[in-house]
Copies of this chain bind each other. A is one copy, B any other.
Amino acid sequence: MTISYTLKVANARFGGFSKLLFRWKGSIYKLLYKEFLVFVALYSLLSVTYRLMLSEDQKRHFEEVALYCNKYTDLIPISFLLGFYVNLIISRWWGQYTNIPLPDQLMCVVSSNVHGADEKGRLLRRTLIRFANLSSVLILRSVSTRVLKRFPTMEHIVEAGFMTHEELKKFESLSSDYNKYWIPCVWFTNMIAQARRDGRVRDDVALKLLMDELNKYRAKCSMLFHYDWISVPLVYTQVVTIAVYSFFAFCLIGRQFLDPSRKHAGHSLDMYVPLFTLLQFFSYFGWLKVAEQIINPFGEDDDDFETNRLIDRNLQVSLLSVDDMYQNLPPMEKDKYWD
């Protein structure tokens, strides 16, 4: 489920964002707690080992290694890497959202340019807009795990009413090794061309308008496919991941509290709990988790796009507007400010 929270912080008040911290759903805590527990467990294990199980000599060695680790962890440039990487992921994430095809423009155009209040006219408008919806379902099925779960086979799409059996047969008779989401779009264009011949689309300009809107709709489907096919270069993701993971692996050792009696610089205090390291873990790992969560916004994370809800909304709304609302206008009345 998408987490919309901006309404809660509509006004910048005292405390502001702090009220966003006490949530579980979609929160950093939920995303990060497992990694956090593992980190804490490993840290404790090492801590206990150092304090209780090592001989004095081993302790001296451990201390040297710890000092060495602490000193050099800073060499790993994770702020820069994460800053630029997350920036990239965020801009792709928004790009993906804005390319989810919505039939709103198309349905306005179909509703007002494909004429005929008779059954054939209704059927034509409904079929056209159904084709558009079908195309988006086909593409979303290939990019979104949620939608694939809902429609594991083409049969499920037919059952859900996006396609008739005849259409499925025709669809499958066209063999291609590649994603066939574009087929309903071609049907759409051929069907409006035929509707133009039958006079149900009244003029060439309207035909062009329908064609233009269909093309915009199809372009969005296409972009979704490409965002899915062309991931951020794997190498980039790996570099960032290795940097963050290894940083904290070394923190396990380097941030141990060493025996204050040994007078190591910066180790005059034994607090047992490495508060700052944990905080740093939250900041950097949390930042990485932002990327993990949205690198594929079509998954099943709390904050991923609700594609199934969108599919339902689109079908409902688009059938409503091309059928029930066709030439079904409220009576014109003088408005309040008339004269």
Q: How many residues of A contact B (CB 8 A)?
A: 176
0/1 interface trace, chain A 39-82, chain B, CB 8 Å (1 if under): 00000000000000000000000001101110111011101111
Q: Is the CB of B276 within 8 A of A219?
A: no
Q: Is the CB of B226 within 8 A of A98?
A: yes
A127 at the interface (CB under 8 A from B): yes
Residues of B within 8 A of A183 (CB): 321, 325
0/1 interface trace, chain A 288-303, chain B, CB 8 Å (1 if under): 1111111110111101
Q: Is the CB of B305 within 8 A of A12?
A: no
Q: Is the CB of A242 within 8 A of B67?
A: no
A73–B193 CA distance with the chains assembled, in angstroms? 68
A168–B6 CA distance with the chains assembled, in angstroms? 29
Q: Is the CB of B127 within 8 A of A332?
A: yes
Given contact pairs A11-B299, A21-B238, A71-B266, a sample of 7 additional A-B residue pairs in the complex whose CB atoms are under 8 Å apart: A10-B296, A80-B83, A81-B283, A112-B193, A205-B208, A239-B282, A319-B337
The oligomer's copy count stands at: 5
**Main SS of the interface on chain A?**
helix
Q: Is the CB of A238 within 8 A of B286?
A: yes
A185 at the interface (CB under 8 A from B): yes
Q: Is the CB of A193 within 8 A of B296?
A: no
Residues of B within 8 A of A193 (CB): 112-113, 115, 327
Q: Is the CB of A276 within 8 A of B238?
A: no
A265–B337 CA distance with the chains assembled, in angstroms? 75
Partner of A164, one of B161, B241, B301, B330: B330
Contacts known (A289-B16, A293-B233); A335 close to B79, Cβ less than 8 A = no
Residues of B within 8 A of A174 (CB): 320, 324-325
